[in-house]
Structure 1
Amino acid sequence: MKYLLASLLTFWILSPVNTDPPVWDFDTQLNDYFAAETERIKLRTEQELSAIEDWETYKTEARRELQDMLGLWPMPEKTPLEATVTESIEHEEFTVQNLHFQSMPGLYVTGNLYIPKNLKEKVPAIIYVCGHANVKKDGYSYGAKVNYQHHPAWFARNGYVCLILDTVQLGEIEGIHHGLHRYQRWWWQSRGYTPAGVETWNGIRAIDYLLTRPEVDPERIGITGRSGGGVTSWWVGAMDERIKVAVPVAGITDMEDHVVNGCVEDHCDCMYMYNTYQWDFPKVAALLAPRPLLISNTDRDIMFPVEGVFRVYRQVRQIYEQLGAGDQLALNITAGPHRDEQELRVHAFRWFNRYFYQREGLIEKTAVKFFEPEQLRVFKALPGDERNTRIDESFNTVAPSTDAVLAETSPAEARSGWRKDLDRIFANWPENDAPAIMDIESRVQSRGMQLTTYRLPSDEHTNLPVFHLQSTGRSRQGPTRIILLDEDNWADWSARLAGAFPGGPFWSSTEAKTDAAAILQRELTGGSLLLISMRGAGPAAFSGDEFKQAQIRKRYYLLGQSLQAMQTWDIRRALEAFLQTSETKDLTIEAEGISAGMALYASLFLDNRISLELTKLPASHLEGPYYPKVLRYMDMPAALMLAREKHAIRELD
């Protein structure tokens, strides 16, 4: 009976101060946020592309940004290719050379070079970049070049040299494309690494190789490929103007499709740049202007929906027409799903014939396969010095270590540089950084304690619960301990709150601890507790399995952000809002692991001095938190050095 009365009393005095109903549907908030951010990027790209005054200046700066987003800024050194032909195959119409080259030392690119017979002059060359096709036999990976061999064979039978390239993942040496959702390599975000950068670099070096061949006309080099190869065609064509004609097939749609409509969930990481400059994809496509460009797709492709392809085409056409090259852009849509349809091939062949041979005739020869996998094999044994399987660890340029920086400059100069770098790392935080105002959603008392639930508007679409727990008998608030609620500690805290304050919207009585009240009362000895929620964690977790959570995180990086960067924003907003109204400024954040790293960075943006107790703080951003390209600028020791200048920090094991 006593327990029943206590429960009734707790429920009875629950009275929301804010009369509007609380909105705690975090999945809806997330969808609204993604839609709004995508629309903002879309509109900005449209406005930018419609207001270009000097195309050459614009193109140069845009290309530099794309280099940066692909991990190619500064551009890697062009080291000797060490090109090697390992075997030749004779066909009555052409010769195939099985070859490899090194786009950088130890980064091997395997491919087949198809050369027409009886050449009397230099001829056009096509780079065919493969999509995702896994060709294995008796445990050996023969590479996607085997699956797509009918393309280069057709080109060679019609007067073109064609170099078909394996990808990093689906080559004879098997590297990794699916690093994020399949292998949990979220540290790629910290390095700013994307396999799209490696594929782009391999394509650029493939051009270098073709220019060494006596059969090739250097002024007539084109590129094409389907699916993943279609995407790489865009990257290489946008980055290198030695590509004179391009036909990317099933390789582009816009941010609306990828982020809002969910196409990102069907794609691997090689499809995406690290979008820190917040481009929509028509801007990538525009960088091929005014060169001849055929955008090709099928009408039932779920990976590159035709509606998004139309939206890209319309914006790119505007650029071509402004440059007086409207006739050099075309759109080919044919019937079919995401598949290598014959109609797609025919239109690609005709496009290259038109611009490289000035031919408009019918395509009389079909594209067919001639060879078994063993015939197209490059390596008899894989090279021992290959870096393909671990290229993600070294491809990008990263900042010198903190010690190395301090050896070259004064601590004051180092700190000044790192503070500027913070603006780059968190450049895509919300623009409105005016202090947030937290509204009280409810206030409840139970067993000598008072729990106030606040609604924190972290951004225009994200409302998060913040819980303030105090003793009711204390006249002054006293010091406040701050806990960040994450996936590691939320189960324990929700059980305590459920036991002491049954009926709350974020916990269930079935998870309540029987001694919860006593535990919380001990926690309140000497002060109060502030429990901060972050989007996607603890009480504000998003629904879905591990795969779905990974796709949510990928959407953030398509927006030029990361989930943990936005969680750091949430922490900053909560701290700033609490400091505005709290009678005490004596705050101590207690956090562990990646949350400790996020607390550290959030503190760098506070004006007030606070204390931080950081348990198991990651030694490097390779362990987290994973912020956009942070390792290109600084690592955790630099953040610690900045924070110690302002705050009291205690590191715990």
Structure 2
Amino acid sequence: MIGKYIYKIFIVGLFCICLQTVTYAQQDSDHNYAKPLKSVLVEIQNRYGVTIQYKDKMVEGKVVPYADWRLRPDVETSLSNVLSLFDMKVEKVKDKTYKLKDYEYYRWALKDGWAELDRIASQYHNQQQWELRKDSLKKEMLHALQLDKIPKSNNVSVIKTKERKYDGYSVSNIAVEILPGVYFCGSLYKPNTIKGKIPIILNPDGHWPQQRYRADCQYRCAALAKMGAMAFSYDLFAWGESMLQFPYEDHRKSIAMPLQILASFRILDYLLTLPEADNNRVGITGGSGGGTLTIMTTALDDRIKVSSPVVSVSSYFYGGCPCESGMPVHFCAGGTDNVEIAAMAAPRPQLLISDGSDWTANMPEHDFPYLQKIYGYFGKTNAVQNVHLPDEKHDFGINKRTPVYNFMAKYLGLNINSILKNSVVDESFVTVEKENMMYVFGDKGQNIPINAIKGCDNLMKLMLNYK
């Protein structure tokens, strides 16, 4: 009896074990051997002896299927296998330390960006072939930006504030109506004494805090004005006073890209109507996102004669904001990048300024020689220049402004001596205005026109008229 009892217990126990095993197997099958992403990252850190920096909210609720099978002998392949599921990546910040980041469509690996530029460059080998390529790019870019059907403007409407006089220059705030009810605001700096025709220099803003109200924007435009040019500094879309019409969130929508380029066209349309404007001497310079706008505007508008993109152009960086890369411009003509777009300025003089702490850090090694090659097709290799500042950061500081002043003076016939003291650029004459002095529509936006449209939904309805 005891033997039979023990046998029954054994059978029941074996059945329970088998049932539990089947249950676990079923669970594993149902969940694809899944583990929480946070647990997988802890396991990777322990296995490979590394540190992965991240905020908990980045990994909350994320589950890795077939987690253990994604790991490989090396840490970077393992991380790629795991994180690619979530459009995430890591950046190596120092030895054995990684930082978790969202996938950046606009940032390629250095070697991939260089390889892509080499592929692009292999399609042409002389001026004639390049011109055909450029014509194709220009046509397709305008179409991709949905600007090819927007009619040219013969009479640009503007709103202008009272002029303010300073040492060697004056300032007035101007809103340019680029489409019915859509305004771009800026400040126009002019020399106090104007004799004959003078150059125009567009100064689109970048993605730095305080928009065009920043001191470095005011220094640059005031200096260019004292040198003898009219310099127009203007906001990005849904940036600065544009936020009276469109909230900041709209800046990160694709529609921002064509509107900013259209604004450059329309602002230039207006400035060229001024009696003192010299339409043969037109320049543009901008930094960061303003640098992207600089190369795009120059590529698409032949009225631009001289350009200087600052801390922006790279073969492995396409612009980190939808206002720079949100429309399919980079897929045109079988694929392009910002270096090829910068090359569309050739043979017009161009100065590229790069630094050692951002995506322009490798400009002298690969991208600039490509640009020299394109300019060489026209026998104008010296017309493209690169000032590389390896110890500097991503800004538009005095060491970037100084070469811009010299470059614009050389090619636009400006008086560099007017801002020099003991042969060094001296900006101490500039009066840095308070932000509210630079508003077009008043301290609280009370002077915005009644026809100003509000919100992206109404903007999209307007844009439908041009399709």
CA distance in 2, matches of 1:79, 1:104: 12
In the alignment, is residue 70 of structure 1 matched against residue 145 of structure 2? yes
Residue 435 of structure 2 corresponds to which residue in structure 1? 373
Residue 573 of structure 1 corresponds to which residue in structure 2? none
Query: How many percent of aligned residue pairs carry the same amino acid?
Result: 22
Residue 313 of structure 1 corresponds to which residue in structure 2? 368
Whether the aligned pair in 2 keeps the contact of 1:109 and 1:165 (CA below 8 Å) is yes
Residue 324 of structure 1 corresponds to which residue in structure 2? 379
Residue 51 of structure 2 corresponds to which residue in structure 1? none
More helix by share: 2
What TM-score results when the alignment is normalised by the length of structure 1?
A: 0.51
Whether the aligned pair in 2 keeps the contact of 1:233 and 1:247 (CA below 8 Å) is yes
Residue 46 of structure 2 corresponds to which residue in structure 1? none
In the alignment, is residue 245 of structure 1 matched against residue 333 of structure 2? no
CA distance in 1, matches of 2:84, 2:463: 36
CA distance in 2, matches of 1:131, 1:357: 26
In the alignment, is residue 235 of structure 1 matched against residue 296 of structure 2? yes
1:430-445 to 2 correspondences below 5 Å: none
Match of 1:63, SS state, is helix
Match of 1:173, SS state, is helix
1:430-509 to 2 correspondences below 5 Å: none
1:45-64 to 2 correspondences below 5 Å: 45-50=120-125, 53-64=128-139
Residue 474 of structure 1 corresponds to which residue in structure 2? none
* 1:150 counterpart letter in structure 2: Y
Match of 1:126, SS state, is strand
Select between 169-178 and 283-292 the one with higher mean Cα deviation.
169-178
Whether the aligned pair in 1 keeps the contact of 2:238 and 2:250 (CA below 8 Å) is no
Select between 42-51 and 105-114 the one with higher mean Cα deviation.
42-51
Q: C-alpha deviations, 1:388-419, integer Å up to 9, x for none?
A: 642752465599xxxxxxxxxxxxxxxxxxxx
* 2:452 counterpart letter in structure 1: E
CA distance in 1, matches of 2:125, 2:301: 23
Residue 259 of structure 2 corresponds to which residue in structure 1? 198
In the alignment, is residue 164 of structure 1 matched against residue 233 of structure 2? yes
- Change beyond 3 A, Cα 1:126–1:358: closer
CA distance in 1, matches of 2:23, 2:166: 86
- Change beyond 3 A, Cα 1:319–1:178: farther
Q: 2:219 aligns with which of 150, 175, 180?
A: 150
In the alignment, is residue 393 of structure 1 matched against residue 455 of structure 2? no
Match of 1:374, SS state, is helix
CA distance in 2, matches of 1:168, 1:98: 17
Q: Quote how far apart the aligned CAs of 1:246 are.
A: 0.4
Q: Quote how far apart the aligned CAs of 1:348 are.
A: 0.2
CA distance in 1, matches of 2:250, 2:16: 52
Q: 2:404 aligns with which of 338, 342, 348?
A: 348
1:603-614 to 2 correspondences below 5 Å: none
- Change beyond 3 A, Cα 1:224–1:395: farther
Q: Quote how far apart the aligned CAs of 1:3 are.
A: 4.8
CA distance in 1, matches of 2:214, 2:113: 38
* 1:393 counterpart letter in structure 2: M
Whether the aligned pair in 2 keeps the contact of 1:245 and 1:292 (CA below 8 Å) is yes
Match of 1:339, SS state, is coil
1:76-225 to 2 correspondences below 5 Å: 76-78=151-153, 80-135=155-210, 144-145=212-213, 147=215, 148-174=217-243, 175=246, 179=250, 193-225=254-286
In the alignment, is residue 292 of structure 1 matched against residue 354 of structure 2? no
CA distance in 2, matches of 1:121, 1:5: 97
Residue 4 of structure 1 corresponds to which residue in structure 2? 17
Question: Structure 2: where are the runs of 5+ without partners?
Answer: 1-12, 29-67, 72-80, 90-102
Whether the aligned pair in 2 keeps the contact of 1:112 and 1:145 (CA below 8 Å) is no
CA distance in 2, matches of 1:297, 1:320: 19
Q: Quote how far apart the aligned CAs of 1:345 are.
A: 0.4
Q: C-alpha deviations, 1:440-485, integer Å up to 9, x for none?
A: xxxxxxxxxxxxxxxxxxxxxxxxxxxxxxxxxxxxxxxxxxxxxx
* 1:163 counterpart letter in structure 2: F
Residue 254 of structure 1 corresponds to which residue in structure 2? 315
Q: 2:321 aligns with which of 248, 256, 268?
A: 268
Residue 357 of structure 1 corresponds to which residue in structure 2? 413
In the alignment, is residue 383 of structure 1 matched against residue 449 of structure 2? yes
CA distance in 2, matches of 1:89, 1:12: 79
Question: Structure 1: where are the runs of 5+ without partners?
Answer: 15-20, 136-142, 183-187, 259-263, 400-631, 633-653
Q: How many residues align?
A: 368
Whether the aligned pair in 1 keeps the contact of 2:124 and 2:130 (CA below 8 Å) is no
Q: Quote how far apart the aligned CAs of 1:85 are.
A: 1.5
What TM-score results when the alignment is normalised by the length of structure 2?
A: 0.69
* 2:304 counterpart letter in structure 1: I
Whether the aligned pair in 1 keeps the contact of 2:227 and 2:416 (CA below 8 Å) is no
CA distance in 2, matches of 1:168, 1:214: 28
Match of 2:161, SS state, is strand
Q: 1:27 aligns with which of 67, 83, 87?
A: 83
CA distance in 2, matches of 1:388, 1:242: 32
- Change beyond 3 A, Cα 1:315–1:179: farther
* 1:314 counterpart letter in structure 2: P
Q: Quote how far apart the aligned CAs of 1:99 are.
A: 1.5
Q: C-alpha deviations, 1:328-354, integer Å up to 9, x for none?
A: 000011231112221110100000111
CA distance in 1, matches of 2:23, 2:439: 74
Whether the aligned pair in 2 keeps the contact of 1:84 and 1:101 (CA below 8 Å) is yes
1:508-587 to 2 correspondences below 5 Å: none
What is the root-mean-square deviation in Å for CA atoms of aligned residues?
3.4
Q: C-alpha deviations, 1:554-594, integer Å up to 9, x for none?
A: xxxxxxxxxxxxxxxxxxxxxxxxxxxxxxxxxxxxxxxxx
Q: C-alpha deviations, 1:345-391, integer Å up to 9, x for none?
A: 01000001111117786950423541222322211222333236427
- Change beyond 3 A, Cα 1:5–1:243: same
* 2:373 counterpart letter in structure 1: Q
- Change beyond 3 A, Cα 1:268–1:158: same
Q: Quote how far apart the aligned CAs of 1:22 are.
A: 6.8
Whether the aligned pair in 2 keeps the contact of 1:179 and 1:269 (CA below 8 Å) is no
Residue 597 of structure 1 corresponds to which residue in structure 2? none
CA distance in 2, matches of 1:144, 1:100: 14
CA distance in 2, matches of 1:49, 1:361: 42
Whether the aligned pair in 1 keeps the contact of 2:271 and 2:277 (CA below 8 Å) is yes
CA distance in 2, matches of 1:153, 1:12: 73
Residue 10 of structure 2 corresponds to which residue in structure 1? none
- Change beyond 3 A, Cα 1:398–1:106: closer
CA distance in 2, matches of 1:73, 1:218: 23
Q: C-alpha deviations, 1:175-198, integer Å up to 9, x for none?
A: 356559x7xxxxx5xxxx341211
CA distance in 2, matches of 1:89, 1:99: 13
Q: Quote how far apart the aligned CAs of 1:145 are.
A: 4.1
Q: Quote how far apart the aligned CAs of 1:39 are.
A: 7.2
* 1:93 counterpart letter in structure 2: G
Whether the aligned pair in 2 keeps the contact of 1:223 and 1:247 (CA below 8 Å) is yes
* 2:172 counterpart letter in structure 1: Q
